[in-house]
Amino acid sequence: MNVLVIGGCGFIGSHIVDAFIASNHEVSVLDRGSEKFRPPLKGVKYFHDSILSIKHVQQAVKSADYIIHTASSTTPATSNSNPQEDVDNNLTGMIQLLECMRENNKRKILFLSSGGTVYGIPNTIPISENHPLNPNCSYAVVKIAMEHYLNMYAQLYGFQTTILRPSNPYGPRQSFSDNQGVIANFTAKTVQGECLTLWGTGQEVRDFLPVKDLANACVKAVEGDISGIFNIGSGTGHSIQEIINTLESIHGSRLRIHLEKRRAFDIPKVVLDIEKAKKELNWTPNVNLSEGMREYYNWLKGISSESFCGSSS
């Protein structure tokens, strides 16, 4: 089938592209940017524009059998600074995409939501898909609104919608700026010889998900033609202090740590219940934390200093 990956030049999207190519599917990409850490892929058709560009969205959607939406212009750390921009770029973009799909008689879409933020401070651990939604950042609020629009289009127009709620993805090609995930940020600062900033006590727990496992879950859902909402995580929680300890072991020396108070949007503990995905998608995570962190560390060590400087700005 022909799979359109929106945000396919980004961190998560590029791995989803790889996974579908490896499964012998035709792939096209809609992304406002270009490939950052590799040349354009042969056989992949690129539409270089924003999801807000109706003209290019129409062109990209026409030839697609399945649409995968991975793009976001914000992160949990940046979204609260300008909620209006978050809505204008991301929620409006989703609505325009759904309208383009409806007009072109395209009905199948997989959306990457956020298992790490939409549940807020959890009532129970692990967190199932039925847990109440209690967002505390604009990023999560907009993700939930996008889920609701998908549900509306499913009810009104017969869309087949699949919503994956990933935990905390990490891995090669992830941006290493201060606004990205803790593994990426800490590893980049370690490689550059800088001090790490720890927000909180180090006892905060996250469900860290290797990006290749997430990409594989997308392939399983699409090839299985399965709709519904699924948590996608490792199923295991690790504290931030464990991340530091693992990184010190990989790096071979102690790291310098600067402590800051926990931020208001930081959730103390998140571990997702992934039993539904295991059962219905026939999917299971395969990469353990140490292996995944070492792969990212080696990837960062291997990229050029120009890439480092350009992507951390």
What residues does 260 pair with on adjacent strands? 199
Phi and psi, residue 115, nearest 5° = -70, -20
Structure tokens at 264: 């208001």
Is residue 180 predicted with pLDDT exceeding 90? no
The tokens 């960062």 sit on which residue? 300
Residue 176: pLDDT band with limits 50, 70, 90? confident
The pLDDT tens digits for 201-257 are 999 999 999 999 999 999 999 999 999 999 999 999 999 999 999 999 999 999 999
Average pLDDT over every residue of 276-286: 98
User: What domain count does the chain have?
Assistant: 1
Residue 139 is a catalytic residue: yes
pLDDT digits (tens, 9 = 90+) for 127-167: 999 999 999 999 999 999 999 999 999 999 999 999 999 99
Q: Say whether 311 sits in a helix, a strand or coil.
A: helix
Number of residues assigned to the chain: 313
Rounded percentage of the chain residues whose pLDDT exceeds 70: 96
Tally helices (H) and strands (E) across the chain: 12, 13
Secondary structure (DSSP) of 124-146: SSSBPTTSPP---SHHHHHHHHH
Q: Say which of 119, 139, 170, 297 is annotated catalytic.
A: 139
Torsion 217-220-225-228 (CA) sign? negative
Whether the pLDDT of residue 45 is over 70: the answer is yes
Residue 311 has pLDDT above 60, yes or no: no
Q: Kindly tell me if the per-residue pLDDT of 89 is higher than 60.
A: yes
Closest CA to 299 of 141, 195, 184: 184
pLDDT-based confidence at residue 263 (cuts at 50, 70, 90): confident
Range of 252's domain? Answer: 2-311
Here the CATH number for the domain that contains residue 64 is 3.40.50.720
Place of tokens 């956020």: 114
pTM above 0.85, yes or no: yes
